[in-house]
Structure 1
Amino acid sequence: MAKQPMLKFVNVTRDMPSKRAADERNKDFHEIYAEFADAKAKEQASRCSQCGVPYCQAHCPLHNNIPDWLRMTAMGRLEEAYGISQATNTFPEICGRICPQDRLCEGNCVIEQSGHGTVTIGAVEKYITDTAWEKGWVQPIAVTTERDQSVGIIGAGPGGLAAADMLRRAGLQVTVYDRYDRAGGLLTYGIPGFKLEKDVVMRRIDQLAQSGVEFVTNCNVGEDLSFDAIRGKHDAVVIATGVYKTRDLEGPGAEATGIVRAIDYLTVSNKLSFGDEVPEYEDGTLNAAGKKVVVIGGGDTAMDCVRTAIRQGAESVKCLYRRDRANMPGSQREVQNAEEEGVEFVWLAAPKGFEGEPVSGVQVQKMRLGAPDASGRQSPEIIEGADYLEPADLVIKALGFEPEELPKLWGVDGLEVTRWGTVKAEFKTGKTSLDGVYAVGDIVRGASLVVWAIKDGRDCADAVLAYLNDSRAVAAE
């Protein structure tokens, strides 16, 4: 019997894929981490302790069977590892790249808690699926029985695409509507290439298209096509629009030219990676080259903006955040990467106002941390008399996203929303107040992680399928 190739965490240390040098990677938009070689992937997978209660799996929103595919990888059975990974995750190669593993699976690894260093779960997940694509194991969905019922999905981000994948596998006719010229949502236009190269997203969308999923792009619901028209065309509808409304800055001068939204800035940069002509970049409006850039915010979107500005050739890039490093919501790994690439973080600092037209400076007020707020985090308090002016030619608002007013935007009655403006939907199923209409992802949760959107899309697909089965049974009576 072959020797068990696991439990090697005692004598094999944690090792991540090598990271390209900062002064090399900060000049392009290619991913910064190298691929694992086969031997290294097997070695790192073999560190898994195969514990009885896998906390990595429990803390993964998708409850991926992580110990199982780590074991298959360690044994060199990569096609089986991919099968196990794909069974619970529609886009494992995307999650392997952009999930905050330090807060989810890896952060809760049992051997990490015992002081041996976590298993590099994300890097192995990425390696497995990239190998699957390379070897041709990833194929279009083979539908065994076509059904005449159809589902319309509004939004081609991770939640909508995950639902489309599952519903198509069940033989349903699926049409995805999206406002942009390419599918993918924030995967395509919100996340920079140095974290997620665009061919990784496009090949999944192409796989879905080859599987029979229809994509209707450049379609702004409420303008180009009414919500009622989509409802009338399909037997069920899934709302997966995400949240795109930017939280605004306040204070004098906040409307000045040169103060821009993070989503606009990142979208333009990502369009360039496709080779598109982008006037806003060419005329300098959304181009950081040669400018003093100030990004306001402390989440992952802010990290994407500062690192993009560095790559565009900014003269300087500073990130203002009103709390300290320990209390910022963004990934600590991303902060480290940004610092290595030349970004300066200004902690305990918030904008008070802006000078110039176009903007020439940010009036910064210094903060200190006081008593905890309702979430348990310490609330920032202003330090009186400590204001100063930070020179800036481009200010990027990365304060988070809020939902658009869909009932008003789409002119639809009866679609209930919460007091935060998110669509009111049942937990687990995504069922809304309208018959046959479901909602998933950020438009229900508020701004959240891609992995949660995938989870919601998959769960919702099960609920939609049950609804359509019930509808057919009733019609047959």
Structure 2
Amino acid sequence: MAERMLKFISLPQQMPQKRTAEERRKDFDEIYESFVPEAAVAQASRCSQCGIPFCSVHCPLSNNIPDWLKLTAEGRLEEAYELSSATNTFPEICGRICPQDRLCEGNCVIEKGFESVTIGAVERYITDTAFENGWVKPIAPLAARSESVGIIGAGPAGLAAAEKLRSFGYQVTVYDRHDRVGGLLIYGIPGFKLEKEIVLRRWKWLEEGGVKFVLGADIGGETSFSALREKHNAVLIATGVYNARDIGGPGSGLPGIVKALDFLITSNRRSLGDVVPDYDSGLLNASGKDVVVIGGGDTAMDCVRTAIRQDAKSVTCLYRRDKQNMPGSLREVKNAEEEGVTFTWLSAPESFLGDEHVTGVRAVRMHLGLPDASGRQSVEPIEGSAFTLKADLVIKALGYDPEDLPTAFNEPELTLTGWGTLKVNPRSFETSLSGVYAAGDIVRGASLVVWAIRDGRDAAAAIHRQFQAARPAQAAE
């Protein structure tokens, strides 16, 4: 180990080559190039192989990070892939979009005296290499089972559960309202963070492994929830949360004030080659406009960087806290700043100006006060500090709440928590309805993709335990 590892003392941190800001403003391609093999091996060798790997401790999936870094440093990439994929259904996706600066890399032991190991970039490199070399094989269950599971939602939680359940031998069908598989991975996250071919490749892989998909599904409408329960031995709800939080104040209903997800879905659909009237009409198109994005999370970062690529006249992010207290990735903030986004920290909207269409945002300066019930510093307005930002397009990126699923599914016996999420048994993932389970953001609340993957895998394992207790594995009919 000493020969190949512990090189953080002599080797500096190196990320894969990043395209210049001027280049990447012109398209929606990923901004980082792939590691060349020599660089990936060198960066993996910087791992300290510490006794308590805090990178793994702070990974929601408990990935065996030091082990697959060591295998990469030794050139044993196929083994590294096998180890990486043992705990993560989509390592190449997490390697691209996880906020590593807040998770694994941010807790790397060598971070204090040296820059952290580039864990995410190596993770991406391992699986991309595995696909290129044909090491990623279709799911092949050791034994088939006759029970079927219906999964509502083809986002990260639903797909992770589908993979695990299929590997256990179950007959799995995934239902989704959209016309493509991936949920927010395909329609919410822009291509400069996650190129769509990466998601479509996993869709094909799941189908090759025997997972069936029913797209354009209208659960609670054309397909009743009760009919779905009758068709399958178990149902897993993994719909995510899509109910955008709103903002009030004078003028908040003016045309030109739009929801973040509407803006992002429109952009992603256009990138996928769809005809999108709302983009062509200019309703959800930032071209030539002064754009103000309200919010400081990852969705806000996606919006500001998308607006830049749509050739906006100016893009400003308005956030009520400071840079250190924003929920989004600081790495994303840095990329956005490089690309020309202006950040107006410690500022909150007060009203929206305009008659027939929004023309500006009236905002007020804020200062940080004492911690509130959540532990974060409260924000308080500064009297007499109001100012105006010019805006032709205002994008609200304030987070998401759950949809009213009991009403949407016409299933009033589904029990909700006080937050509007589905109430489940924390061990079995079962809802108030027998044989109906739930996982991901619809249970946890809006969170990271990596947590959705973790929840989907855990829910699949819980469903498997339920079936095992009832009946041992048997051949499918």
TM-score, normalized by length of structure 2?
0.97
Distance 1:474 1:157, change over 3 A: closer
CA contact (8 A) 2:299 2:397 kept: yes
Q: CA deviation at 1:469?
A: 2.1
**Residues 302-337 of structure 1, C-alpha deviation per residue, up to 9 Å, x if partnerless?**
000000000000000001001111111110000010
2:46 is aligned to 47
Partner of 1:108: 107
CA offsets per residue over residues 173-197 of structure 1, 9 Å max, x none?
1010111111100000000000000
In structure 2, the partner of 1:141 is 139
- Take 1:102 and 1:381, find their aligned partners in 2: how far apart are those partners? 28
Contact map agreement 2:143 2:473 (CA 8 A) in 1:
no
Aligned to 2:325: 327
Task: Provide the secondary structure at the position in 2 that maps to 1:231.
Answer: helix
For structure 1, which runs of at least 5 residues remain unmatched after alignment?
Answer: none
Provide the rounded CA distance (Å) in 2 between the counterparts of 1:126 and 1:292.
Answer: 35
1:295 aligns to what SS in structure 2? strand
Q: Is the 8 A contact 2:145 2:473 kept in 1?
A: no
Q: Deviations over 1:343-387 (max 9, x none)?
A: 000111111111222111111122111121112211111112221
The CA deviation at 1:428 is 4.6
> Is 1:38–2:37 an aligned residue pair?
yes
Give the ranges of 4+ consecutive aligned residues of structure 1 lying more than 4 Å apart after TM superposition: none
Task: Within 5 Å, give how 1:313-352 maps onto structure 2.
Answer: 313-352=311-350
The code of the aligned residue for 1:25 comes to R
CA distance in 1, matches of 2:295, 2:348: 9
The equivalent residue for 2:353 is 355
Q: Distance in 2 between matches of 1:33 and 1:306?
A: 18
Tell me which residue corresponds to 2:286: 288
Q: Which amino acid aligns with 1:229?
A: A
Partner of 2:215: 217
Letter in 2 for 1:335: V
The 1-side partners of 2:438 and 2:199 are apart by: 22
SS of aligned partner of 2:135: coil
Report the Cα distance in structure 1 between the residues aligned to 2:25 and 2:412, rounded to whole angstroms: 49
Aligned position for 1:424: 423
- Distance in 2, matches of 1:126 and 1:201, equals 13
**What secondary structure sits across from 1:350 in the alignment?**
strand
Q: CA separation of 1:290/1:4 partners in 2, compared to 1, >3 Å: closer, same or farther? A: same
Equivalent residue number for residue 301 of structure 2:
303
Show the counterpart of 1:22: 21
Structure 2 CA distance for aligned equivalents of residues 354 and 74 of structure 1: 55
Count of residues paired in the alignment: 473
State the SS of the aligned residue for 1:9: helix
CA distance in 2, matches of 1:66, 1:224: 45
Distance 1:253 1:228 in 2: 43
Structure 1 residue 390, shift from structure 2 partner: 1.4
TM-fit CA distance, 1:473: 6.2
Q: 1:428 to 1:56 in 2, by over 3 A?
A: farther
What does the per-residue CA deviation read over 1:236-283, in whole Å, with 9 as the maximum and x for residues that have no partner? 011100000000110011111111110110001001111111111000
Output the aligned Cα RMSD. Answer: 1.4
Structure 1 residues 34-83: Cα deviation after superposition (integer angstroms, max 9, x where no partner) = 11110100000001111111111111111111111001100000000000
For 2:443, what is the secondary structure of its paired residue? helix
Distance 1:203-1:428 versus aligned 2 partners, 3 A rule: farther
Distance in 1 separating the partners of 2:324 and 2:6: 33
Following the alignment from structure 1 to structure 2, what is the Cα–Cα distance between the partners of residues 59 and 293? 36
Deviation at 1:27, TM superposition (A): 1.1
For residues 130-149 of structure 1, the C-alpha deviation after alignment (integer angstroms, 9 at most, x for no partner) is 00011111121123322211
TM score, norm. by length of structure 1: 0.97
Q: Is the 8 A contact 2:413 2:433 kept in 1?
A: yes
Aligned positions of 1:183-198 closer than 5 A:
183-198=181-196
Instruction: Call closer, same or farther: CA 1:195–1:474 in 2, change over 3 Å.
Output: closer
Q: Distance in 2 between the 1:264 and 1:283 partners?
A: 14
8 Å contact 1:242–1:442 — kept in the other structure? yes
- Secondary structure at 2:452's aligned position in 1? helix
Match of 1:269 in 2: 267
Distance 1:474 1:170, change over 3 A: closer
The aligned amino acid for 1:236 is A
Determine helix, strand or coil for the equivalent of 1:453. Answer: helix
Deviation for aligned residue 1:474: 13
C-alpha displacement of 1:3: 7.0
Q: Are the equivalent residues in 2 in contact too, given 1:430–1:456 (CA < 8 A)?
A: no
1:387 is matched with 386
CA distance in 2, matches of 1:174, 1:262: 32
2:452 aligns with 453
> 1:102 & 1:430 partners in 2: Cα distance?
30
| Aligned-residue offset at 1:429 | 3.4
Q: CA deviation at 1:211?
A: 1.1
Alignment of 1:162-201 (within 5 A): 162-201=160-199
**Pairwise CA distance, 1:470:** 2.5
Alignment match, 2:91: 92
Amino acid at match of 2:446: A
1: CA distance, partners of 2:275 / 2:142: 42
Distance change >3 Å, CA 223–CA 371, structure 1 → 2: same
